[in-house]
Structure 1
């Protein structure tokens, strides 16, 4: 009888030792499936928005373009200032494309005489490249213009004086300068160049007639280049592996306690 009990005890111990292995084997396919799904989701996320297609607003200072800190509707340039607009796709103000060329005030407004009660604002209008253009449209050649406007005029008013037709959307976002582009307004653009949605948040809006500042590019970047603060792929996959290891450890502890 003791021999039978000994054999049964040995078999029971072997079964208990095998349980963690069986558990890990059963959970491994599920873990692999989770990791595969996360990889697919991560790949889809990488193909989401690349940025927004919009007119950005700049100031020329010391021969260098700087991203404007306020919108053209509130900016009030002085006589002799040089300001620029660039149409391009960008995620935020850090990667926004600058107007090409650094023509100074004298080169642009040298032939426009000063007038009492008025000011002259030099404007550089860069319509961008074919790669940034909406489907079916060709960007006009970049050009400059000297706007002579009342002394208290805003940049938006100076722009309207030399680059009509301007187009705005219902939220007073600046959509087109000199009729370009013919359609669209600050739309979100996917990594393959396709438009994802029109009126893409604050990006175009911060170059708008009704804007109180210009920080829209960074807002666009936060929508398109971020995962919204969710856990990363590595964290989720690592958590799944830890869960499996922890389950195995529990079974191992139980085996030792009852062994």
Structure 2
């Protein structure tokens, strides 16, 4: 009997290990959030490429085009919504004469769609373009300030508004809308039926081991 009881207890304890893991692990995968913000782009080969440097440090060359798009987009840049208009420098700056010691940079501003707009902001402004004539050492932030004031930044230096849009907010995370786990309205761990079953197995295994110790 002792040998059979020992084998039974070992089997129950082995089954209890996955139950412990179920209790410790969260229920359901984490949900990613989207963000409402101005993304920064540069025209490259007739297409938009995500700008890896911030506008305060990037110095665009003469004859280039900066693009901006306000949208509800994933964080990380590459999957963000692109400006709708093409970054064609010749078309944007044909009416702006070149000047000694200055450069011309095209700018495309896309204020997004009504679905991208913050709650209560109303319809976004229409997309527009401009050509900035600025000093040769000007950054993209200075280019933008020359053609689309007022700009608004937060305390960390993040660009929040271009041409006053939007009037409030700055890069807010927007919940993806995934439902909370069953039994856990706040999205916490929560004990589901399978986990409770695992806990029961754990208790049974512990009881069998205690009985084995008493028989020795």
1:129 aligns with 2:87: no
Once the two structures are TM-superposed, the CA of residue 72 in structure 1 deviates from its matched residue by 0.6
The residue that corresponds to 1:86 in the other structure is 69
The count of corresponding residues between Structure 1 and Structure 2 is 188
Q: Which digits, 9 at most, give the CA deviation of each residue in 1:77-99, with x for residues without a partner? A: 11100110111122222321111
Which of 93, 117, 121 is 1:109 aligned to?
93
The residue that corresponds to 2:161 in the other structure is 176
1:52 aligns with 2:10: no
The residue that corresponds to 1:99 in the other structure is 83
Which of 99, 118, 126 is 2:102 aligned to?
118
The residue that corresponds to 1:247 in the other structure is 205
Report the secondary structure of 1:156's partner residue.
helix
Q: Give distance in 1, aligned partners of 2:57 and 2:158.
A: 13
Once the two structures are TM-superposed, the CA of residue 245 in structure 1 deviates from its matched residue by 10
Q: Give distance in 1, aligned partners of 2:161 and 2:85.
A: 21
The residue that corresponds to 2:181 in the other structure is none
Higher share of residues assigned helix: 1
Report the secondary structure of 1:172's partner residue.
coil
Report the secondary structure of 1:183's partner residue.
coil
Unpaired segments of 5 or more residues in structure 1?
A: 1-11, 193-230
The structure 1 segments of at least 4 consecutive aligned residues displaced by more than 2 Å after TM superposition are 243-248
Return closer, same or farther for 1:244/1:184 CA change in 2, 3 Å cut-off: same
Unpaired segments of 5 or more residues in structure 2?
A: 178-188
Q: Give distance in 1, aligned partners of 2:167 and 2:59.
A: 28
Structure 2 length-normalised TM: 0.71
Once the two structures are TM-superposed, the CA of residue 38 in structure 1 deviates from its matched residue by 4.8
Once the two structures are TM-superposed, the CA of residue 60 in structure 1 deviates from its matched residue by 0.6
Matches within 5 A, 1:30-41: 38-39=26-27
Which of 36, 43, 46 is 1:63 aligned to?
46
Once the two structures are TM-superposed, the CA of residue 158 in structure 1 deviates from its matched residue by 0.6
Once the two structures are TM-superposed, the CA of residue 170 in structure 1 deviates from its matched residue by 2.2
The residue that corresponds to 2:55 in the other structure is 72
Kindly indicate whether the alpha-carbon contact (under 8 Å) linking 2:87 and 2:106 is maintained by their aligned counterparts in 1: no
Once the two structures are TM-superposed, the CA of residue 142 in structure 1 deviates from its matched residue by 1.0
